[in-house]
Amino acid sequence: MNQSTGIRSVQRVDARHRYEILVDGRRAGLAAYRDRGAQRVFFHTEVDDAFAGQGLGAELVQAALADVRESGKRVVPVCPYVAKFLKRHGEFADITDPVTPDVLGWLEEELG
């Protein structure tokens, strides 16, 4: 099994509207969002192929959602991977808002 043993960390990069997961200081994945008032709308998550299937996606989303809670914000899981994560991790149910047509329309405009 090609399990990564590198040191992992997750950082929020406000200027790029995303969280990044680093392995030994190298960016291995990201979770992109836009803020809609108190809602942090997650719309895309990706992990580099070289690091796929090692749980990095889950680690990244776990840390991102903990940061959302700490920031007093709420989560909207447009990204299917984040949605799947939330189904498995009920501890974030209290800060999760549904994906509505309003949110999707707003996101489309935001992303141009």
Ligand X SMILES: CC(C)(COP(=O)(O)OP(=O)(O)OC[C@H]1O[C@@H](n2cnc3c(N)ncnc32)[C@H](O)[C@@H]1OP(=O)(O)O)[C@@H](O)C(=O)NCCC(=O)NCCS
Residues at the contact surface with ligand X, assessed by CB under 6 A: 44-47, 52-58, 79-81, 84
Q: How far is the CB of 89 from ligand X (least distance, A)?
A: 12
Q: What is the per-residue DSSP string for 52-82?
A: TTSSHHHHHHHHHHHHHHHTT-EEEE-SHHH
Q: Which is nearer to ligand X, 39 or 82 (CB)?
A: 82
Q: How far is the CB of 48 from ligand X (least distance, A)?
A: 8
DSSP 37: T
Q: Which is nearer to ligand X, 2 or 102 (CB)?
A: 2
Q: Which is nearer to ligand X, 28 or 74 (CB)?
A: 28
Q: How far is the CB of 37 from ligand X (least distance, A)?
A: 22
Longest distance between any two alpha carbons in the chain, whole Å: 43
| Tokens coding 52 | 């796929």
Q: How far is the CB of 72 from ligand X (least distance, A)?
A: 25
Instruction: Compute how many other C-beta atoms are within 10 angstroms of the C-beta atom of residue 87.
Output: 11
Q: Which is nearer to ligand X, 87 or 93 (CB)?
A: 87
Parallel/antiparallel/unpaired status of strands 8-13 and 18-23: antiparallel
